Amino acid sequence: MLIRRPADVLPSEITPREVYLNRRQWMAGAAGLALSAALPLGLEAAPLSAAKSPFSTDEKKTSREDVTSYNNYYEFGTGKEDPAAHAGTLKTAPWTVNVDGMVGKPASFAVEELIKSSALEERIYRMRCVEGWSMVIPWVGFPLADLIKRVEPLGSAKYVAFETAYRPEEMSGVQSMFPVLDWPYVEGLRLDEAMNPLAILAVGLYGETLPNQNGAPIRLVVPWKYGFKGIKSITRISFVEKQPETSWNRQAPGEYGFYANVNPSVDHPRWSQATERRIGEGGLFVKRRPTLMFNGYADQVASLYTGMDLRKFY
Ligand code: MTE
């Protein structure tokens, strides 16, 4: 099922941002989940202004329609249409990201504050899902390194662990008797990977705040890794000494490694990773594209893995 945005003017275009963000909270709170679930998701988008980034690809962008209606977000179901249909129940404002562990300055950040105090950039990135499809998405966000510098990691911090919100009452997929994953969804990066300028925390796409199905209000984007690294709706970031557990590795360790670097020469045990289908390039006879090492970002990231056997550390 596709949820379409109303064709007429968005409230974000005619109402001051603060007023309408407050109205959003009121709608989610006073009117209750049933009503907010019934609201068209597009109503929630607020414009974000962002500088252009030299890290952007000039490849053709995947349509907003495809980016926001073909998703993976298992907390709202396992179907590609489930997140767009069901993620409207997640209350994304107010929202706090707690940063803890081996840091000099542990902190709780309100997302609104993070957005105001960060130099937002538009980063048009190629994204590759482990399932064999790809998209080109114009994210709006800021370098993860900027947030890391604010909290002053200690010398003992070697990894960064991320956690998604766990709210069974707002997440229909989490209520299942037979959960697909252990909740909350968790992911991790090595600290030097997290500091790489390509790694961003995204707060928007296509010039507006993130739709819920894409991980509102804040999610990780690591374009040289398979999409499952891009943990959505983050509530906690911890600096740790040992490699943290990750949801998909826990679920199927033989299929999903900690590193998850896009690598056309290391097949998934059940299918090849040599090629990809670009979403939106329709038609029966459209050729699959060759998948590029590190998703085409080798120049910027290959040095992170010098001397590592990438078949072992997949
Ligand atoms: N984050 C959470 N919390 N739950 C999920 O199920 N799915 C991952 C990742 N982040 C997922 C998640 C997977 S498998 C992919 S491919 C991307 O989100 C998809 O991001 P998109 O829907 O914005 O394209």
| pLDDT tens track, the chain, 314 positions | 333 333 333 334 444 444 434 444 444 444 334 444 444 444 468 999 999 999 999 999 999 999 999 999 999 999 999 999 999 999 999 999 999 999 999 999 999 999 999 999 999 999 999 999 999 999 999 999 999 999 999 999 999 999 999 999 999 999 988 889 999 999 999 999 999 999 999 999 999 999 999 999 999 999 999 999 999 999 999 999 999 999 999 999 999 999 999 999 999 999 999 999 999 998 778 899 999 999 999 999 999 999 999 999 99
Nearest CA to ligand 1 atom 13: 228
CA distance 265 to 283: 27
Instruction: Tell me, using a 6 A CB cutoff, whether residue 129 lines ligand 1.
Output: yes
- For ligand 1, the distance from its centroid to the CA atom of residue 104, given in whole angstroms, is 30
pTM, rounded to two decimals:
0.88
Sign of CA dihedral 14, 17, 19, 24: positive
Cα 96 from Cα 235, distance rounded (Å): 6
Q: Can you identify the CATH homologous superfamily of domain 7-305? A: Oxidoreductase, molybdopterin-binding domain (3.90.420.10)
Q: Quick one: which of 174, 173, 287, 167 has its CA closest to 235?
A: 167
pLDDT at 68: 98
Residue 117 CA, chain-centre distance (Å), reads: 20
- Residue 224: predicted pLDDT: 99
Distance, in Å, from the CA atom of 174 to the CA atom of 168, rounded to the nearest integer, reads 5
Ligand 1 centroid to 1 CA: how many Å?
18
Q: Is 2 exposed, middle or buried (0-12, 13-18, 19+ CB in 10 A)?
A: exposed
| Most ligand 1 atoms within 8 A of CB, residue of 41, 61, 72 to mutate | 72
Give me the sign of the Cα torsion angle 131, 282, 202, 71. Answer: negative
Q: Does ligand 1 lie within 6 Å of residue 73's CB atom?
A: yes
Q: Whose CA is nearest to atom 9 of ligand 1?
A: 228
What pLDDT score does 177 carry?
A: 86
For residue 285, the model assigns a pLDDT of 85
The number of beta carbons lying within 10 Å of the beta carbon of residue 77 is 20
**98 pairs with which residues across the strands?**
108, 236
d(CA 177, CA 170) in angstroms, rounded, equals 16
Out of 140, 228, 234, 247, give the residue to mutate to test ligand 1, the one with the largest number of ligand atoms within 8 Å of its CB.
228
